[in-house]
């Protein structure tokens, strides 16, 4: 094990900004680039190294900007290219890098490439997307005539009929997000040229949206149907046949030979540890790290809206397997939160007044002390919680709105199934106005709403809580999505002033990574895999050994690690309670965390 990080991002921490909800300078209720610039000092104070910006490109905003209609400009709602250049320069001036969201599995249906592609079967851009006729022997538009039985991630079929040509196009996400055909070398070259354009402008890398879906099996076989509804086509587009080739080609055509310190992270739903090792093996030149999904799917049943309970044993088994699997070759990214996940303190912690700050700091500590590059999602450093949604009209996210409409459409039949029948004629706005019919419909609606409240992506998207004042200091206008009422107590202003706040705890965690190579590259050793309350592990580098403890419960818990008395007497580097009462034992108070350090490692 090398004593020092081999590459800069091993000791870096990335902060994700969701621009719509970060800070609105213009007063139109939607966050913008000028707003981000006005908060760079805050981010510098937190100490993060890299900012990842969710998309700010021109977009019809069907999927909140993940439907891009122009890759080389800024949507007027967020500002201008000049604002972007200013943001980049100001971030760089403060020693922070800026990474963009690269969304190239699909474009918007309003992107000129698709507009051209849909002109007709003979258009030169036809093959830039996945067009197919109806199923053999069936008429276009007939029920079940779609070229495959695949469901889309946002409910309904993954195929949309183009009446004019009688062919369907593939959209793994909304019908306004047609999938690009990466089999076509022209598509790949156009994407690479766009990426070079941004790098030449000075950006420091890319977070690559669902990048392991770009290679599809061109035969497009049907997928298995789990219990009803649409088929699951993922075996034919997750880590498909040419994915490694495409990423290596991308590296060659975009990144090779640049001497800048760049970062690439591939978002990869369904990726396994073994595949991730290939993707992140530095000798293969694909990506630096991947976002895997295993640990954020442990509490899910047939889909995310059928949650099961949280099991600490499962969490430890999963993260431990990823630590071991990428120990020698490859690299982990570490995250609890992003713009697609509910807030971790409400999910794996306890967001009550009594335990919110303790559980948020414990969760942050456990995550940041793993080996890998941690990602902080805006507001996580404040311990922001899930939102309050009175009814369906409070939701904005297409996934939630479509799911609601689909699930209610299915009532009267059986339980809702994953990807169940939504005719997929909805836009986000249409789905929002779809309601329950009353009676049994009301009960079904209540059940679906309960699931949305727990798992909806909108939980992550409420405005950043800057102050206790109007709109949490996010905007002087009417925010595009409701502000969490708890901003009166949970906000940046209050936390900056409180040395024991979640914010200052995160600041210390980030500093630990910067100051101690053991946090970045030390060996990871899981302890107590069968303990239902305590998350415990060691990190080792040369003669140094650290012990990290986290109590995942509101009850006292004893950490029965080997040589507990020795550890109890060791240097306590960081904890989330003011003082440890008894330096001879490892009895953890509710949601307590501790990091101990010894310079002579125990056996």
- Examine residue 12 and tell whether it contacts ligand NOJ (CB under 6 A): no
Q: Which of 267, 350, 380, 531 is catalytic?
A: 267
Question: Is residue 288 near ligand NOJ by the rule CB under 6 A?
Answer: no
Q: Hey, is 333 helix, strand or coil?
A: strand
Closest contact distance (angstroms) between CB of 103 and ligand NOJ is 5
Q: Is 458 in the site for ligand NOJ (CB under 6 A)?
A: no
192 Cβ contact list (under 8 Å, min separation 6): 250, 253, 254
Least Cβ distance, residue 398 to ligand NOJ (angstroms): 8
The residue among 415, 423, 467, 422 whose CA lies nearest residue 444 is 415
Using the rule CB under 6 A, is 209 a contact of ligand NOJ? yes
Q: What binding mask, one character per residue, do residues 125-164 give for ligand NOJ by CB under 6 A, x or -?
A: ----------------------------------------
Three-state DSSP state, 4: coil
CB of 456 vs ligand NOJ, minimal distance in Å: 12
If the CB atoms of residues 209 and 381 are measured against ligand NOJ, the closer one turns out to be: 209
The pair of structure tokens assigned to 559 is 């950490």
CB of 238 to ligand NOJ, least distance (A): 13
Nearer to ligand NOJ, 340 or 350 (CB): 340
In the bound complex, which residue of the shown chain has the CB atom lying closest to ligand NOJ? 66
Q: What Å distances lie between residue 430 and 416, 433, 445, 453, CA to CA?
A: 20, 5, 17, 20
* 267 among known catalytic residues: yes
Considering the rule CB under 6 A, would residue 428 count as an interface residue with ligand NOJ?
no
Nearer to ligand NOJ, 63 or 351 (CB): 63
267 vs 286, beta carbon nearer ligand NOJ: 267
How near is the Cβ of 229 to ligand NOJ at its closest, in Å?
Answer: 20
Catalytic one among 62, 160, 209, 350? 209
Residues between 243 and 282 that touch ligand NOJ (CB under 6 A): 267
State which H helix or E strand residue 22 sits in.
none
Within the chain, how many helices (H) and strands (E) appear? Answer: 17, 18
Q: Looking at beta carbons only, is 66 or 128 nearer to ligand NOJ? A: 66
Coil vs helix vs strand at 73? coil
Q: Which is nearer to ligand NOJ, 167 or 397 (CB)?
A: 397
Q: Cβ distance 553 to 538 under 8 Å?
A: no
Element (H, E) at 234: none
Binding of ligand NOJ by 173 (CB under 6 A): yes
- Residue whose entry in the numeric block shows the structure tokens 């919110």: 356
Region class of 236: left (phi > 0), else alpha (psi between -120 and 50), else beta: alpha
Indicate the residue among 209 and 394 with the shorter CB distance to ligand NOJ: 209
| Distance (Å, whole) CA 258 – CA 243 | 23
Binding residues for ligand NOJ, total number by CB under 6 A: 9
The C-alpha atoms of residue 148 and residue 133 are separated, in whole angstroms, by 10
Near ligand NOJ by CB under 6 A: residue from 103, 203, 254, 520: 103
Specify the residue, 339 or 343, whose C-beta has the smaller distance to ligand NOJ. 339
Does 66 bind ligand NOJ (CB under 6 A)? Our answer is yes
Q: Which is nearer to ligand NOJ, 97 or 339 (CB)?
A: 339
Question: By CB under 6 A, what part of segment 324-343 binds ligand NOJ?
Answer: 339-340
List residues bridging with 550 in a β-sheet.
Answer: 535, 593
Minimum separation from the CB atom of position 65 to ligand NOJ (A) = 9
Are the beta carbons of 179 and 233 closer than 8 angstroms? no
The C-alpha atoms of residue 114 and residue 127 are separated, in whole angstroms, by: 10
Taking CB under 6 A as the criterion, the residue among 43, 51, 195, 210 binding ligand NOJ is 210
Q: Does 63 bind ligand NOJ (CB under 6 A)?
A: yes
In the complex, least distance from residue 462 CB atom to ligand NOJ, rounded to whole angstroms: 15
Q: Give which of 100, 209, 221 is closest to 153, Cα–Cα.
A: 209
> What DSSP line would sit under 420-479, residue for residue?
----S---HHHHHH----STHHHHHHHHHHHHHHHH-GGGGTSPP---SSGGGGS-SS--
Concerning whether 209 is annotated as a catalytic residue, the answer is yes
Q: How far is the CB of 138 from ligand NOJ (least distance, A)?
A: 29
CA 445 vs. chain centroid, Å, equals 27
Query: What is the Cα–Cα distance from 47 to 345, expressed in whole angstroms?
Result: 22
Rounded least distance, CB 205 to ligand NOJ, Å:
17
Say whether residue 290 binds ligand NOJ (CB under 6 A).
no
Interaction of residue 403 with ligand NOJ, rule CB under 6 A? no
* Nearest-10 crossing angle of helices 356-368, 502-515: 10
575: β partners? 594
Positions marked active-site: 209, 267
Instruction: Provide the binding-site residues for ligand NOJ, judged by CB under 6 A.
Output: 63, 66, 103, 173, 209-210, 267, 339-340
């Amino acid at each position: 094990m090398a004593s020092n990080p081999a590459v800069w991002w091993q000791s870096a921490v990335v902060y994700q900004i969701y621009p719509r909800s970060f800070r609105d300078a213009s007063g139109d209720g939607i966050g913008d680039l000028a707003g981000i610039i006005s908060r760079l000092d805050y981010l510098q104070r937190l100490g993060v190294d890299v900012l990842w910006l969710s998309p700010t490109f021109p977009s019809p905003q069907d999927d909140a900007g993940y439907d891009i209609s122009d890759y080389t400009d800024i949507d007027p709602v967020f500002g201008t290219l000049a604002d972007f250049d200013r943001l980049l320069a100001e971030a760089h001036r403060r020693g922070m890098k800026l990474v963009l969201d690269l969304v190239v599995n699909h474009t918007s249906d309003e992107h000129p490439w698709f507009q051209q592609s849909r002109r007709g079967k003979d258009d030169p851009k036809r093959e830039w997307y996945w067009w197919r006729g109806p199923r053999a022997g069936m008429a276009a538009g007939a029920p079940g005539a779609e070229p495959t039985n695949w469901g889309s991630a946002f409910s309904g079929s993954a195929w949309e009929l183009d009446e004019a040509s009688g062919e369907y196009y593939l959209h793994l996400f909304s019908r306004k997000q047609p999938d690009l055909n990466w089999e076509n070398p022209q598509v790949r070259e156009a994407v690479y040229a766009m990426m070079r354009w941004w790098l030449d402008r000075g950006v420091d890398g890319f977070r690559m949206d669902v990048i392991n879906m770009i290679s599809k099996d061109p035969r497009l076989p049907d997928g298995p149907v789990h219990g009803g509804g649409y088929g699951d086509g993922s075996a034919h587009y997750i880590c498909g046949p040419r994915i490694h080739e495409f990423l290596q080609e991308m590296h060659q055509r975009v990144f090779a030979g640049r001497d800048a310190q760049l970062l690439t992270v591939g978002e990869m739903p369904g990726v396994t540890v073994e595949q991730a090792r290939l993707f992140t093996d530095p000798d293969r030149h694909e990506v630096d790290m991947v976002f895997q999904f295993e640990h954020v799917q442990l509490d899910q049943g047939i889909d995310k809206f059928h949650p099961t309970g949280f099991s600490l044993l499962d969490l430890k088994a999963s993260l431990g397997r990823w630590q071991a699997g990428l120990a020698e070759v490859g690299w982990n990214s570490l995250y609890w939160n992003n713009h697609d996940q509910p807030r971790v303190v409400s999910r794996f912690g306890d967001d009550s007044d009594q335990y919110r700050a303790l559980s948020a700091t414990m969760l942050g500590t456990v995550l940041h002390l793993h080996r890998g590059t941690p990602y902080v999602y805006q507001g996580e450093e404040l311990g922001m919680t899930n939102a309050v949604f009175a009814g369906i009209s409070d939701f904005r996210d297409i996934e939630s709105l479509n799911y609601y409409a689909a699930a209610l459409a299915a009532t009267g039949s059986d339980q809702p199934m994953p990807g169940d029948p939504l005719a997929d004629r909805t836009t986000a706005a249409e789905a929002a106005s779809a309601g329950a019919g009353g009676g049994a419909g009301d009960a079904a609606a209540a059940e679906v709403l309960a699931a949305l409240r727990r798992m909806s992506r909108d939980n992550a998207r409420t405005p950043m809580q800057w102050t206790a004042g109007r709109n949490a200091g996010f905007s002087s206008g009417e925010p595009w999505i409701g502000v969490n009422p708890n901003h009166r107590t949970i906000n940046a202003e209050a936390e900056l002033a409180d040395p024991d706040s979640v914010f200052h705890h995160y600041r210390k965690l980030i500093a630990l990574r910067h100051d101690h190579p053991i946090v970045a590259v030390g060996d990871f050793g899981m302890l107590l895999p069968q303990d239902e309350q305590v998350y415990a592990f060691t990190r080792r580098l040369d003669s140094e050994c650290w012990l990290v403890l986290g109590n995942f419960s509101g009850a006292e818990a004893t950490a029965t690690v080997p040589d507990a008395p020795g550890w109890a007497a060791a240097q306590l580097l960081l904890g989330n309670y003011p003082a440890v009462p008894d330096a001879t034992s490892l009895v953890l108070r509710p949601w307590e965390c501790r990091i101990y350090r010894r310079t002579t490692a125990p056996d």
